[in-house]
Amino acid sequence: MDHRLETCQKVVEKGIEMLAINLTVGTWGNISCRIPEKDYVAITPSGMSYDTLAPEDIVVMDLRGNTISGTNKPSIELPLHLAIYNARDDVQAIVHTHSPYATALAVARKEVPGAVEDMVQIVGGKVRVSEYALPGTVQLGTNTVKALEGRNAVLLANHGMIGVGRNLDEAFRVCQVVEKSAQIVIFAKLMGGVVELSEEDIAGMRNFYLNGYGQR
């Protein structure tokens, strides 16, 4: 299997998983991944059900927005994905969800504070809220890149959440951890408040995640 087909297959699999674990509903949200050894990205098509997608339905684009392969229209959020890829060489994959707890905070325009250990490890600190812009616009990409600086996740005001990573599995895991953390933060607020971790502790745990966590 060549890199292009392999990447498209992974995008299809994550779309099915995203729907199955309620990180989105219907056809909303989107997923993309860089194709190794090429300045190309594979992105989900606009308005097609995740549970019926095949690798040939995934659209391959270059970083300027030109279609390389695929006959479907790419996700409306292509400008958002390209803005992130062009600004962040470290980002290899992007997952955009509409999960309920993270979106609740996005609607309230409240950040996810750096209070949950696994979240600050994988995200790098608190999850900021980007300034509002309409879906599918270049401005949404610009606002998102700004709020995503130094982080692997961002809340899109009144919209949803973005998780990015060094690979598709990590980007997807970011979305799972942020959704769980958003739920925890909402519950903690109901019980009297959230106690945030210190910047020193956050930096230490982020370093451990990057350099000491897991098998080497």
Query: Does residue 75 form part of some domain?
Result: yes
Domain enclosing residue 183, as ranges = 3-211
pLDDT in tens, 54-72: 999 999 999 999 999 999 9
Query: Does residue 54 form part of some domain?
Result: yes
Q: Please, are residues 40 and 8 in contact by the beta-carbon 8 Å criterion?
A: no
Maximum distance among all Cα pairs of the chain, rounded to whole angstroms: 53
Return the pLDDT at 215: 54
pLDDT band for position 216 (50/70/90)? low
Query: Does residue 191 form part of some domain?
Result: yes
Residue 212 has pLDDT above 80, yes or no: no
pLDDT in tens, 77-106: 999 999 999 999 999 999 999 999 999 999
Active-site position among 13, 77, 117, 131: 77
Return the pLDDT at 3: 84
Query: Does residue 73 form part of some domain?
Result: yes
% of the chain with per-residue pLDDT over 70: 97
Return the pLDDT at 23: 93
Query: Does residue 99 form part of some domain?
Result: yes
Residue 214 has pLDDT above 60, yes or no: no
User: For this structure, is 37 an active site residue?
Assistant: no
User: What's the average model confidence in pLDDT over 172-194?
Assistant: 97
Q: Please, are residues 121 and 205 in contact by the beta-carbon 8 Å criterion?
A: yes
pLDDT band for position 37 (50/70/90)? confident
User: What's the average model confidence in pLDDT over 188-200?
Assistant: 95
User: Which residues touch 44 (CB under 8 Å, ≥6 apart)?
Assistant: 11, 15, 30, 31, 32, 50, 53, 58, 59, 74, 75
Query: Does residue 216 form part of some domain?
Result: no
What DSSP designation does 195 have? -
Question: The domain spanning residue 133 has which CATH number?
Answer: 3.40.225.10
% of the chain with per-residue pLDDT over 90: 88
pTM recorded for the entire structure: 0.95
Q: How many domains does the chain have?
A: 1
Angle, CA of 14, 18 and 21, to the nearest 5°: 130
User: Which residues touch 90 (CB under 8 Å, ≥6 apart)?
Assistant: 166
* Contacts of range 100-103, beta carbons closer than 8 Å, 24 or more positions apart: 100/22, 100/179, 101/179, 101/180, 101/182, 101/183, 101/186, 102/127, 102/155, 102/160, 102/161, 102/175, 102/178, 102/179, 102/182, 103/159, 103/160, 103/161
Return the pLDDT at 196: 96
